[in-house]
Structure 1
Amino acid sequence: MAFRVAVPAMVAALVTLFGAPVRAQERVDVALVLAVDVSRSMSYEELRIQREGYAAAISSPQVVRAIGQGAYRRIAITLFEWAANVHANEIIGWTIIESQADADAVAAELLATRSFGERRTSISGAIHHATGLLETAPLLADRRVIDISGDGPNNQGVPVTEARDEAVAKGITINGLPMMTRDGFAQQFHIDDLDRYYTKCVIGGPGAFMVPVNDWDQFAEAVRRKLVMEIGQVEEAAPRVVPAQFILEEPYDCLIGEKIWQQRGWQFDDFDR
């Protein structure tokens, strides 16, 4: 069911445009928020690969083809970079993509600037910010999706399950892209089962899934595959696409990131992860 948000004409006119214009109450198949982790555990090179990976995925022919197969043949996206719960840097404002030219324009905008690492890791803060963007979007969307990437567990802000459950209660789906890489700074804050953490603690809602990235060489392809699935609700034949699990299994500690920070965070008072 489409969600409806009344937006004054002046607000709608101020929406940042990189692809096609966003008109108030315009119908799209999906409103997609891309929430990208830029915590300081990632090196400058990793941040570059990540930014270029999103640009390559968004402008890929497979993604554009998936958009064209929808009921309205258009989607709306916005992309912001996050770290602490007070850091959310908008890179792409709400933008309509319905053609290859639109997708190419978004990719060019992503490549026009660079990412900068910021302190701490608040997945819950990113979910709250993304939820607010969806709640106030000047669009009519059949589906609302948050696509969140990250290389570590939540270690700041409210518990991630609290933010997830609030978003899911509003009919929003949260998908995950856990980065299982072990390069970069502050490896002692990583957890070996980040993919399981995302499955148990981060993703949720109708059709939720996560796609882990084990090597940076896989990043662009993983994002492309994930976007195709989110846009077209098409399950590509690919390993390690894990759906949300709602069946009660053995308990999982969704506060593991906060506990690791309490134990080791004092070492990084001047260089927070």
Structure 2
Amino acid sequence: MRWYVSIGAVLVAGMLAGGDVAALAAPASGQQSGGEMAEKESTPSVDVELIIAVDVSYSMDMDELAVQREGYAQAIVSKEFLQALKAGPNGKISVTYFEWAASSDQKMIIPWRVIDGPESADAVSAEIMKTPVRRASRTSISGAIYYAIPLFDENPHRGLRRVIDISGDGPNNNGTPITPARDAALEKGIVINGLPIMVKEPSYSTMDIENLDWYYEDCVIGGPGSFVVAIKDREKFKEAIRTKLLLEVAGRTPEHPVIRVADKEPRVSCTIGEKIWQDRWGR
């Protein structure tokens, strides 16, 4: 089941700060527990293995890239995030952060790190901010997903959940089509959540499309409880990032979903980005 939520539709931060963290973070009945694992070394030691995959394509301007970077850095050290973290069964998560553009262009910014409190959160936040902001050509969401999948096998810490948090401001236009990449992740039990960035008017020159949130809902995200948080207001950029991370750490979908996404034909073609590129460049 997949859900869509706009940033204005959920006040997660307020709920967490108000003392409802334990209720949000409590795993649903029926989830596998460490005691059910066959081997001791497979027992989850963190609540979630979270991969943050960040778009740095040329369609993102330098201001957006800087705000996006700051948004993740500030969210990780926020009071609400740390409260959600400590309310989990293990009280810690494992996180890695990379930037992506073309199918062959992924840059690891932070290898796997455990966040278990303010000190480790501060260290990860500082590490995010110290790397210079960059831009690169093309947009390959599929390449980012294929890059992310084997990273889970490299993580020494097993989690109750495995999540790819992927942001972007346009459709896939490079590499393999998006749906096979999404399905490859889902087959391994990985959840993909989306952060479509829609703060500019769609422009042919920047490969933007209308209804990017629909594209992310129907073509990119997937897995139990997967959701989209769309950014449609530049001033809400950082708030949206924090909201999304809080939901992922707590293992929850938005409390007030706007649209329930049915498993039917996509409302936006999942190959629209490739078609626009072909029409424009002929290759």
**TM-score normalised by the chain length of structure 2:** 0.81
Matched to 2:229, the amino acid is V
Equivalent pair of 2:86/2:92 in contact (CA under 8 Å): yes
Q: Would you say 1:197 and 2:215 are equivalent positions?
A: yes
Q: Would you say 1:163 and 2:181 are equivalent positions?
A: yes
Equivalent pair of 1:28/1:72 in contact (CA under 8 Å): yes
CA offsets 1:131-161 (integer angstroms, 9 cap, x no match): 1111322121110000000000000111100
Residue identity over aligned pairs, in percent, reads 46
Q: Which residue of 2 aligns with 1:58?
A: 76
SS at match of 1:211: strand
Matched to 1:92, the amino acid is I
Matched to 1:137, the amino acid is N
Equivalent pair of 2:103/2:144 in contact (CA under 8 Å): yes
1:248, distance to aligned residue in structure 2 (A):
2.1
CA offsets 1:93-124 (integer angstroms, 9 cap, x no match): 10000101111111111111222101100000
Matched to 1:264, the amino acid is R
1:247, distance to aligned residue in structure 2 (A):
3.0
Equivalent pair of 2:112/2:155 in contact (CA under 8 Å): yes
Go from structure 1 to structure 2 and tell me whether the alpha carbon gap of 1:134 and 1:186 turns closer, same or farther (over 3 Å shift). farther
Q: Would you say 1:95 and 2:113 are equivalent positions?
A: yes
Number of residue-to-residue matches in the alignment = 248
1:127, distance to aligned residue in structure 2 (A):
0.5
Task: State how far apart, in whole Å, the 1-side matches of 2:150 and 2:244 are.
Answer: 22
Matched to 1:258, the amino acid is E
Runs of 4+ in 1 over 6 A off after TM superposition: 23-26, 183-186
Task: State how far apart, in whole Å, the 1-side matches of 2:156 and 2:42 are.
Answer: 5
Matched to 1:84, the amino acid is A
SS at match of 2:163: strand
Higher-RCO chain (CA-CA 8 Å, sequence separation at least 6) = 2
Range with bigger deviation, 29-38 or 217-226: 217-226
Q: Which residue of 2 aligns with 1:248?
A: 264
Structure 1: state its 5+ residue gaps.
7-22
RMSD of aligned alpha carbons: 2.6
SS at match of 2:108: strand
1:31, distance to aligned residue in structure 2 (A):
0.2
Structure 2: state its 5+ residue gaps.
1-31
Task: State how far apart, in whole Å, the 2-side matches of 1:185 and 1:256 are.
Answer: 14
Equivalent pair of 2:225/2:253 in contact (CA under 8 Å): no
Task: State how far apart, in whole Å, the 2-side matches of 1:144 and 1:110 are.
Answer: 21
**TM-score normalised by the chain length of structure 1:** 0.83
Equivalent pair of 2:51/2:148 in contact (CA under 8 Å): yes
Equivalent pair of 1:225/1:236 in contact (CA under 8 Å): no
More helix by share: 2
